[in-house]
Amino acid sequence: MLEVLNNDWKRLLEEKMYLCVSIALTICSIVAAIVLTNTMQTKGNIAMVVTDQSANTSLSKKFSSSPYFHVSKMKKAPLESDMVQNRYDAIVTMKEDGSYNIKTIKSDDMKKMIVGALNNPDSYVPSNDKDREIGTNIMGYMMMFVLIQGLFYARFFAKDKEEHIIKRVVTSPIAFRKYLFGHATFILGMIFAPTFAVILIAKILGVAIGFSLLTYALLIAVLSILATAFALFLNSFFCVADTANMIGTATITLTTILAGSFYSFTKKESVLDKLVHLLPQKDFINYVNALEKGHLSRNIELQFIYVLVISAIFFLIAVMKTKRDYVYR
């Protein structure tokens, strides 16, 4: 196993670009999370449709000046596709008699906040219970990049397959189990060490990061395990590294966004929401959010266990598939 680790490390030093890119992405994601958490005060972007008469009502004036929403006045309602593209969180149509109509594709919580602000424009203060804290934002923004790093470092395993080196390894004194565990250990270590180092530096610099360093170590370790297992799982089905990277990156990007890594857009109890809960990223971010707010429950803990189980399944499939392709032939 040490021979595999040493060999992967030497090859990484020859391709320093991957290490630099992964560290840069991690730093950018953490900085983005910290900046957005500390500076974003609005609860959403609202398109307020008004007529010449309704624009002058007291409600229209007060709502448009709300510090909790970024309100854009317009005479024609934007397309619903603008909400899909996240340009607007909701469209509020103000009527001349003081009534209003709200249209949104976001969760019911968004609609309730808008209704609350419209019903009590002078005294409305939104609840922060649903908001993510700094630690959850950091883990959420890092998640996609950490998972993609697994694909970066698994390329050495893929190259062994692509260049038929693995066939020689199977017949060498190195046991197949040690060979695969060597690659897994290398990938896991290269994901965990730089990521935790960035968090450690942020802590030393006095940046508010939410969780303790020990908690971050645990969370990053679990995310690194998932990234490692998925990367090996995917590469076990392809003999060309670029193919696995392309498919893996697209899959990770799409599923992580759907899982609400950056923000949640699925309505609770909807079919899409139930399907999204099958994604380990969704269960992971739910656990992180509950942990930071002190709202851990049995159901949340089971979601955390689900992430570990999925990781184990990915790894076992990778072992069995690779073993069948090279050892049993």
Q: pLDDT tens, 241-293?
A: 788 889 989 999 888 888 877 766 555 556 666 777 788 999 999 899 899 88
Average pLDDT score, the chain: 81
Does residue 80 have a pLDDT over 90? no
Indicate the pLDDT class of residue 44, thresholds 50, 70 and 90: confident
Residue 277 within a domain:
yes
Among the candidates 119, 152, 182, a domain finishes at: 119
**Residue 54 CB neighbours (<10 A):** 19
Indicate the pLDDT class of residue 224, thresholds 50, 70 and 90: very high
Residue 126 within a domain:
no
Indicate the pLDDT class of residue 316, thresholds 50, 70 and 90: very high
How remote is the C-alpha of 197 from its chain's centroid?
19
Indicate the pLDDT class of residue 328, thresholds 50, 70 and 90: low
User: Which structure tokens are listed for 40?
Assistant: 């974003």
Give the model's pLDDT for residue 227.
95
Indicate the pLDDT class of residue 152, thresholds 50, 70 and 90: confident
Q: Tell whether 81 and 170 lie within a shared domain.
A: no
Give the model's pLDDT for residue 95.
80
Indicate the pLDDT class of residue 60, thresholds 50, 70 and 90: confident
Residue 99's domain comprises 44-119
Give the model's pLDDT for residue 314.
94
Question: How big is the CA angle at 279 (ends 277 and 281), to the nearest 5 degrees?
Answer: 105
Residue with tokens 């020689």: 168
Q: Tell whether 287 and 179 lie within a shared domain.
A: yes
More confident residue, 225 or 158: 225
Gap between the Cα atoms of 86 and 81, Å rounded = 9
Q: Tell whether 225 and 306 lie within a shared domain.
A: yes
Q: Tell whether 54 and 163 lie within a shared domain.
A: no
E runs forming strands in 5-144: 45-49, 70-74, 90-94, 100-103
Among the candidates 99, 119, 139, a domain finishes at: 119
Gap between the Cα atoms of 117 and 129, Å rounded = 17
Does residue 214 have a pLDDT over 70? yes
- H-run or E-run covering 307: helix 298-326
Q: Tell whether 161 and 306 lie within a shared domain.
A: yes
Q: Tell whether 135 and 60 lie within a shared domain.
A: no
Indicate the pLDDT class of residue 59, thresholds 50, 70 and 90: confident
Gap between the Cα atoms of 329 and 316, Å rounded = 19
Counted domains in the chain: 2
Q: Tell whether 279 and 212 lie within a shared domain.
A: yes
Does residue 231 have a pLDDT over 60? yes
Residue 244 within a domain:
yes
Q: Tell whether 250 and 308 lie within a shared domain.
A: yes
Among the candidates 63, 98, 119, a domain finishes at: 119
Give the model's pLDDT for residue 329.
53
Does residue 155 have a pLDDT over 90? no
Q: What is the DSSP string of 193-216?
A: HHHHHHHHHHHHTT---SS-HHHH
**Quick one: what percent of the chain has pLDDT higher than 70?**
85
- Which of 42-51, 115-124, 143-152 shows the highest mean pLDDT? 143-152
